[in-house]
């Protein structure tokens, strides 16, 4: 069992994690109390260096690095803003601080983007089976921009996630006819 960015939601009754991946330092990506709740002895936590300052038992993986954990191969992909930030000259997510991840298991490649815009690194991805892409303004990108980035690396299946305040149907419409299967889920069913 693995968890990505355990922070919000109800984990009661769910099995403990063998593997935890954390993408960034913000509270909606890591909450130490929730991490403590879902881990067990022997749980491996993979995180960028900035996260390891808080989650001190994490194994650090930097952008561009690859680690093998059991049957999983985990590649850290840069996640960052190109233009969006809280003020002129400042970005919400600086390049090199956080990680998106490509997880490979049994020949299947899964991409979890983290909080990012459609970076050159994302657009250059190859052979992704299933992608999870954010589209929550002002922190990442709007649905149409997310769809444009997804068209560039053309996964077989894509789930928009972390989209509070954005219309996932607009994302789906922007990918119509692309041959990419869009799967919509209610990511905010409990809040």
Q: What is the pLDDT of residues 21-47, one digit of tens each?
A: 999 998 888 999 999 999 999 999 999
Tell me the Cα Rg of the chain.
Answer: 16
| Mean pLDDT on 122-132 | 98
Q: How many domains does the chain have?
A: 1
Residue 172 falls inside a structural domain: yes
Residue 191 falls inside a structural domain: no
What CA–CA distance (Å, rounded) separates 160 from 172? 9
CATH number at residue 145: 3.60.15.10
Structural domain boundaries enclosing 131: 2-179
Residue 55 falls inside a structural domain: yes
Question: pTM of this prediction?
Answer: 0.94
Residue 187 falls inside a structural domain: no
Per-residue confidence (pLDDT) for residue 190, from 0 to 100: 54
User: Is the N-terminal amide bond of 138 cis, ω within 30° of 0?
Assistant: yes
| Mean pLDDT on 125-134 | 98
Q: 3-class secondary structure for 17-57?
A: EEEEECCCCCCCCCCHHHHHHHEEEEEEEEECHHHHCCCCC
Alpha helices in the chain (DSSP H): 32-38, 49-52, 120-123, 143-153, 168-174
Distances (CA, A) of 27 to 22, 37, 51, 108, 182: 11, 15, 11, 30, 28
Residue 70 has which token pair?
């059991």
As to burial, measured by CB atoms within 10 angstroms (0-12 exposed, 13-18 middle, 19+ buried), residue 82 is middle
Residue 109 falls inside a structural domain: yes
Residue 120 falls inside a structural domain: yes
Per-residue confidence (pLDDT) for residue 10, from 0 to 100: 86
Residue 186 falls inside a structural domain: no
Please, which pLDDT band fits residue 186 given cuts at 50, 70 and 90? confident
The answer to whether residue 151 scores a pLDDT higher than 70 is yes
Per-residue confidence (pLDDT) for residue 80, from 0 to 100: 97
Per-residue confidence (pLDDT) for residue 68, from 0 to 100: 96
Residue 35 falls inside a structural domain: yes
The answer to whether residue 189 scores a pLDDT higher than 70 is no
| Unique residue bearing structure tokens 């983290």 | 114
**Nearest in space to 133 (alpha carbons), one of 100, 105, 107:** 100
- The mean predicted confidence, pLDDT, of the chain is 94
- What does the pLDDT look like over 63-86, one tens digit per residue? 999 999 999 999 999 999 999 999
What CA–CA distance (Å, rounded) separates 86 from 133? 21
């Amino acid at each position: 069992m693995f968890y990505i960015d355990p922070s919000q939601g109800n984990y009661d009754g769910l099995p403990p994690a063998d593997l935890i991946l954390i993408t960034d330092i913000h509270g909606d990506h890591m909450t130490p109390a929730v991490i403590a709740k879902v881990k067990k002895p022997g749980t491996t936590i993979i995180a960028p260096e900035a996260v390891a300052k808080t989650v001190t038992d994490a194994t650090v993986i930097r952008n561009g690095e690859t680690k093998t954990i059991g049957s999983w191969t985990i590649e850290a992909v840069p996640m960052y803003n190109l233009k969006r930030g809280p003020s002129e000259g400042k970005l919400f997510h600086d390049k090199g601080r956080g990680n998106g991840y490509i997880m490979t298991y049994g020949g299947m490649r899964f991409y979890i983007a983290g909080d990012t815009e459609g970076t050159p690194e994302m657009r250059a991805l190859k052979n992704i089976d299933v992608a999870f892409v954010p589209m929550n303004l002002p922190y990442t990108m709007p649905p149409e921009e997310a769809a444009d980035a997804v068209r560039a690396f053309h996964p077989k299946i894509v789930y928009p996630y972390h989209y509070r305040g954005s219309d996932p149907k607009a994302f789906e419409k922007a990918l119509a006819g692309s041959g990419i299967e869009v799967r919509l889920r209610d990511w905010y069913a409990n809040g």
